[in-house]
């Protein structure tokens, strides 16, 4: 599994999600504003709203694909921890997909403010749970790889920081600032991986020992 190409894909698609939401969807995403303005916007721009939803779903896939590739290359196989991390990743993706789908499909058809508020609460509940689990999973994977000394700490720390900013999501949404900062950090992290020409060796101690033996026969 090619880690660097998947890092490039994740960086590109998640940056696109961030910019699309920031530049094109500020009105419908303003949950705490009045429903009338959001309803008017959705009535004229339903296609933009749907495209944003599909882009967000692609972003979920990009996040998951990058972590799967990272685990495939560096995590020891057949461990209970690795299997649990994979399961939590799928659970996180499922919750995020549910939240995006509920918002994307149901909000444009909301008949009134009360129905829209219910849809918002349902979508945010799924998204909050998904971000919490995504944060826990990402942090666990990065810390696990660091403690196993599979990768240098500086290569993993940005992912851990991004994950930590996602964890409070269920308690702070609809205030999205911490999650957005985490997204920006995650994009920068995947961008760092995307620009690497080579990757650190999987078995660093063995590789160092072989180099020493080659230099000192």
pLDDT at position 217: 52
Which of 20-29, 139-148, 195-204 is predicted with the least confidence, judged by mean pLDDT? 195-204
> Other C-beta atoms within 10 Å of 37: how many?
12
pLDDT in tens, 143-199: 999 998 888 899 999 999 999 999 999 999 999 999 999 999 999 999 999 999 888
pLDDT at position 82: 87
Residue ranges covered by each domain of the chain: 3-215
- 213: pLDDT strictly greater than 50: no
Average the pLDDT over 57-66 and give the result. Answer: 97
- 106: pLDDT strictly greater than 80: yes
DSSP-derived secondary structure for the chain: --HHHHHHHHHHHHHHHHHHHHHH-TTTT-TTS-HHHHHHHHHH-HHHHHHHHHHHHHHHHHHHHHHHHHHHHHSPSS-HHHHHHHHHHHHHHHHHHHHHHHHHHHGGG--SHHHHHHHHHHHHHHHHHHHHHHHHHHHHHHHHHHHTTSS-HHHHHHHHHHHHHHTTHHHHTT--HHHHHHHHHHHHHHHHHHT-SS---SSHHHHHHHHHHHH--
- 204: pLDDT strictly greater than 70: no
- 136: pLDDT strictly greater than 60: yes
Q: Return the percentage of the chain with pLDDT > 70, whole number.
A: 92
- 128: pLDDT strictly greater than 50: yes
Tokens for 185, please give them.
Answer: 């950090």
Burial of 1 (0-12, 13-18, 19+ CB in 10 A): exposed
Q: What are phi and psi of 48, to 5 degrees?
A: -60, -40
Q: pLDDT averaged over the chain?
A: 90
């Amino acid at each position: 599994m090619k880690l660097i190409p998947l890092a490039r894909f994740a960086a590109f698609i998640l940056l696109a999600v961030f910019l699309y939401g920031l530049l094109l969807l500020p009105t419908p995403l303003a949950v705490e504003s009045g429903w009338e303005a959001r309803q008017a916007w959705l009535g004229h721009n339903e296609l933009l709203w749907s495209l944003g939803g599909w882009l967000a779903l692609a972003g979920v896939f990009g996040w998951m694909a990058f972590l799967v590739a990272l685990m495939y290359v560096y995590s020891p196989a057949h461990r209970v921890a690795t299997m649990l991390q994979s399961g939590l990743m799928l659970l996180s993706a499922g919750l995020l997909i549910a939240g995006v789908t509920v918002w994307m499909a149901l909000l444009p058809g909301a008949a009134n403010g009360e129905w829209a508020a219910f849809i918002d609460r349902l979508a945010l509940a799924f998204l909050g749970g998904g971000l919490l689990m995504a944060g826990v999973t990402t942090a666990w994977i990065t810390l696990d790889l660091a403690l196993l000394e599979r990768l240098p700490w500086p290569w993993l720390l940005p992912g851990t920081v991004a994950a930590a900013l996602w964890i409070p999501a269920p308690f702070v949404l609809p205030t999205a600032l911490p999650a957005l900062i985490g997204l920006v950090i995650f994009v920068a992290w995947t961008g760092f991986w995307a620009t690497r020409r080579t990757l650190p060796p999987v078995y660093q101690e063995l590789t160092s020992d072989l180099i020493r033996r080659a230099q000192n026969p």
